């Protein structure tokens, strides 16, 4: 069965600093991987996805993520964080052939001036 | 960009009452989903729906839950007899193809359900 682990519950970074949010997954084959962002009171917005091919994927708002099969990881990165990036970030996995997403518990990002 | 829309944004209901949460998926999408997020917890899959029938459901989706696509645009989640533990944010999602393919699911802003 699929599962997703986001080991960091809460991360605080300074505006302009770089960011890396960790995500590890458990799945028997190569899954589909996603990062979603949830601003307070809002729904889930897709940041980026990995299906196949290039293991470094670019998303919206300057985010990127790298799929590392050997580490079962799909970490989200951004070189310079903006105050508007403060939100909850969810990593999710979909098994190829499955019909639903499995989400991690989320990482809350706080950005300080 | 087309969006998934959910109504109402907040629903307050007495325990034991029936509640219907409504969603309008993106118009050319064929697969529809409900997820829920209990406060402070992860987003959990409830059910997926395709071609007017449930294609997959989780163990959370018991007999008190039902889904329906009553017309060509709406997709509803009904909770027949609400319990306190049903209090959560409920998200609707849709996708062009099934969830295990290369088409991502697009989510609505959610309905916050509060059971008193």
Indicate whether B7 pLDDT > 80: yes
Q: Please name the residue of chain B whose CA is at the shortest distance from the CA of residue A93.
A: B100
Rounded mean pLDDT of A15-42? Answer: 90
Mutate to test the interface with B, among A5, A87, A99, A102 (most CBs of B within 10 A): A99
Min mean pLDDT across A30-39, B18-27, B92-101 is at B92-101
Is pLDDT above 60 for A34? yes
Q: Is the pLDDT of residue B100 over 60?
A: no
Q: Which of B7, B31, B34, B43 to mutate: most A Cβ within 10 Å? A: B43
Residue B102 pLDDT level (bands cut at 50, 70, 90): low
Taking an 8 Å cut-off on Cβ atoms, the answer to whether A90 and B43 are in contact is yes
Phi-psi sector, A79: left (phi>0), alpha (psi -120 to 50), beta: alpha
The pLDDT score that the predictor gives to residue A36 is 95
Partner A contacted by B96 (CB < 8 A): no
**pLDDT value of residue A15:** 97
Dump pLDDT digits (tens) for B50-79. Answer: 989 998 899 999 999 999 998 878 999 999
Give the tens place of pLDDT for each residue, A58-108.
999 999 999 999 999 999 999 999 999 999 999 999 876 666 888 999 999
**Option in A32, A43, A92 nearest B100 (CB):** A32
- Minimum distance, in Å, between the CA of residue A26 and any CA atom of chain B: 16
């Amino acid at each position: 069965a699929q599962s997703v682990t986001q080991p960091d519950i809460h991360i605080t970074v300074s505006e302009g600093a770089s960011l890396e949010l960790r995500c590890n997954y458990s799945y028997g084959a190569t899954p589909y991987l996603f990062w979603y962002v949830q601003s307070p009171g809002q729904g889930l917005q897709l940041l980026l996805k990995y299906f196949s091919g290039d293991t470094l994927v670019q998303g919206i708002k300057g985010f990127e993520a790298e799929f590392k099969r050997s580490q079962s990881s799909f970490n989200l990165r951004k070189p310079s964080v903006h105050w508007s990036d403060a939100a909850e970030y969810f990593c999710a996995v979909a098994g190829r052939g499955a019909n639903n997403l499995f989400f991690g518990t989320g990482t809350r990002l706080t950005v300080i001036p | 960009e087309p969006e998934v829309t959910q109504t109402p944004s907040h629903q307050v209901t007495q325990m034991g009452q029936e509640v219907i949460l409504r969603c309008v998926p993106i118009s050319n999408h064929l697969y529809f989903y409900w997820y829920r997020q209990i406060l402070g917890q992860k987003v959990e899959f409830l059910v997926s729906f395709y071609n007017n029938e449930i294609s997959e459901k989780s163990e959370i989706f018991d007999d008190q839950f039902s889904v329906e696509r009553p017309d060509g645009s709406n997709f509803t989640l009904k909770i027949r007899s609400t319990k306190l533990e049903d209090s959560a944010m409920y998200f609707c999602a849709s996708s062009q193809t099934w969830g295990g393919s290369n088409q991502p699911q697009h989510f609505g802003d959610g309905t916050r359900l509060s059971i008193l």
